[in-house]
């Protein structure tokens, strides 16, 4: 599922990638794949900014602003006219 185009905060620095494959394992939306012994991004618009890849990359190759700023929360806020909250902070209900 895609959220909004070109809004995900996902930043990937290929030169820091060791090819461990952890990001491929943990991403629930298949954003990462292995290409030539390094991670590659299929389509950043699939990213829901859950932060799993950032938390699991031990080599600092991935940065994501996870939590309140995630695309799902933005959409929810647009639909309801309220604050963008999706539960990623663990306080507001089920996480996306
Ligand atoms: S977790 Fe980090 S080091 Fe491992 S493959 Fe993904 S980007 Fe590369
Ligand atoms: S933040 Fe979540 S959805 Fe986005 S690339 Fe990382 S693991 Fe995948």
CA 79 / ligand 1 centre spacing (Å)? 35
For residue 26, the ligand closest to its alpha carbon is: 2
45-87: per-residue pLDDT in tens?
A: 999 999 999 999 999 999 999 865 555 666 666 677 765 555 5
- Nearest-atom index, ligand 2, CA of 52: 7
pTM of the model: 0.73
- Nearest-angstrom CA–CA distance, 27 and 43: 12
Q: Is the pLDDT of residue 16 over 60?
A: yes
- SS3 string, 23-54, reads HHHHCCCCCEEEECCEEEECCHHHCCCCCHHH
Query: Is residue 61 in contact with ligand 2, taking CB distance under 6 Å?
Result: no
Across the chain, mean pLDDT equals: 82
Q: Is the pLDDT of residue 96 over 50?
A: no
Q: Closest Cα to atom 8, ligand 2: which residue?
A: 27
Q: Closest Cα to atom 4, ligand 2: which residue?
A: 47
Report the pLDDT value the prediction gives residue 71, as an integer from 0 to 100. Answer: 59
């Amino acid at each position: 599922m895609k959220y909004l185009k070109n809004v995900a905060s996902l930043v990937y620095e290929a030169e820091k990638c060791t090819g461990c494959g952890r990001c491929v394992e943990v991403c629930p939306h298949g954003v990462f794949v292995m290409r030539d012994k390094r991670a590659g991004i299929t389509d950043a618009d699939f990213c829901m900014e859950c932060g799993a890849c950032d938390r699991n990359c031990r080599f600092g190759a991935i940065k994501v602003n996870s939590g309140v700023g995630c695309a799902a929360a933005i959409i929810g806020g647009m639909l309801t006219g309220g604050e963008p909250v999706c539960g990623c902070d663990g306080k507001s209900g089920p996480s996306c």
